[in-house]
Amino acid sequence: MRDVEIDGDMIRLGQFLKLADLIETGGEGKVLIASGDVTVNGEVDTRRGRQLHPGDVVEVFGRTARVVSGSD
């Protein structure tokens, strides 16, 4: 699992996928999220605008990244 720092205390799922290099394009993220290939904290989430907070874990095809606050 990789820790990925964010600015602030929240980031949207679609944005985080790109920031964490779990996807290459926003369009790819949109498709993967809509098709149920993305999990947040072990549960499928099909909301691209889902708010993520420090400690949340996102997984796509076996690759995981954890949201970490960059302002600690």
- The per-residue pLDDT for range 38-67, each reduced to its tens digit, is 999 999 999 999 999 999 999 999 999 999
What pLDDT shows up at residue 50?
Answer: 96
Max Cα separation, the chain?
Answer: 34
Written out in words, the top-level CATH class of the domain with range 2-60 is alpha beta
How much is the pTM? 0.91
CB neighbour list of residue 60: distance below 8 Å, 6 or more residues apart = 17, 22, 23, 32, 37, 38, 39
Rounded to a whole number of angstroms, the CA Rg of the chain reads 11
Distance CA 68, CA 65 (A): 9
Q: Could you report how far apart the first and last alpha carbons of the chain are, in Å?
A: 20
